Amino acid sequence: MNLFYSPGACALASQIALREAGLNFELVKVDLKAKEYSGGDYKKINPKGYIPALQLPNGHLMTEGAVILQWIADQVPEKNLLPKFGTMERYKAMEWLNFIATEIHKGLGSLFGGAVMNEETKEQIKGKVQLRLAVLNNHLATSPYILGENFSVADAYAYNVLRWTGLVGVDTTQHAALQKFMTAMSERPTVKEAVAAEGIRL
């Protein structure tokens, strides 16, 4: 199984999930600017041109981080990386995954260097992201992980995108629960391994 990634970007969550699941995989680095990987044109693998993408053992290419995370969790139900499909708890988990993907991931992602926008627009986006971070912070003040007492793949996704806040000038010092969560996540062996495998720093 191949996980297409770029150092520090949003395939980190999938990688953490694969490690938590104990599944075998290879990391394949993608140059997101050139849309190339060691085998040539990345768009021939994934026409969307972005990561994460997970090439399954049967050759099927799975894209969209929030879906990849669910697929990984569903391979190892005994590890409880997500509630069982069809339960109300699962819908709650999907709500969080979607919230992280569409509100936090895309909000923070739009602030990265390549984006051309004036300061006013940037501040507006930061203001909106702060509102979303406050929601997650208030939630995490009530339980150590997003789904309660135990780790789930939603935590891997949140950890992945919250790592970017400092890089794009979004202050999280007022979000004590988020800070505590990030520290706890960075101490997980799978997170340390995933970060090291991407050649980035904790």
Ligand X SMILES: N[C@@H](CCC(=O)N[C@@H](CS)C(=O)NCC(=O)O)C(=O)O
**Segment lying near ligand X (by CB under 6 A), choices 15-23, 49-57, 120-128, 185-193:** 49-57
Q: Is 10 in the site for ligand X (CB under 6 A)?
A: yes
Amino acid of residue 7? P
CB 83 within 8 A of CB 93: yes
Judged by CB under 6 A, the residue of 4, 5, 42, 50 near ligand X is 50
Phi, psi of 61, rounded to the nearest 5 degrees: -100, 120
Nearest to 159 by CA among 191, 129, 127, 130: 191
Q: Say how far residue 195 (Cα) sits from the centre of its chain.
A: 12
Least distance to ligand X, CB of residue 30, Å: 8
Q: Is 158 helix (H, G, I), strand (E, B) or coil?
A: helix
**Segment lying near ligand X (by CB under 6 A), choices 50-58, 80-88, 148-156, 177-185:** 50-58
Q: Which is nearer to ligand X, 32 or 177 (by Cβ)? A: 32
CB 172 within 8 A of CB 162: yes
Q: Is 51 in the site for ligand X (CB under 6 A)?
A: yes
Judged by CB under 6 A, the residue of 9, 18, 129, 194 near ligand X is 9
User: How distant, in Å, are the alpha carbons of 4, 25, 55 from that of 68?
Assistant: 12, 13, 10
A 10 A CB-CB count for 39 gives: 10
Q: Is 89 in the site for ligand X (CB under 6 A)?
A: no
Least distance to ligand X, CB of residue 9, Å: 4
Rounded Cα distance between 35 and 52, Å, is: 13
Q: Is 42 in the site for ligand X (CB under 6 A)?
A: no
The residue whose Cβ lies closest to ligand X is: 50
Amino acid of residue 162? L
Q: Is 2 helix (H, G, I), strand (E, B) or coil?
A: strand
Least distance to ligand X, CB of residue 80, Å: 23
Residues 53-82, one symbol each (x = binds ligand X by CB under 6 A, - = not), give -----------xx-----------------
Q: How many residues bind ligand X (CB under 6 A)?
A: 11
Span 12-41, contacts to ligand X by CB under 6 A: 32
Q: List interacting residues with ligand X (CB under 6 A).
A: 9-10, 32, 49-52, 64-65, 101, 109
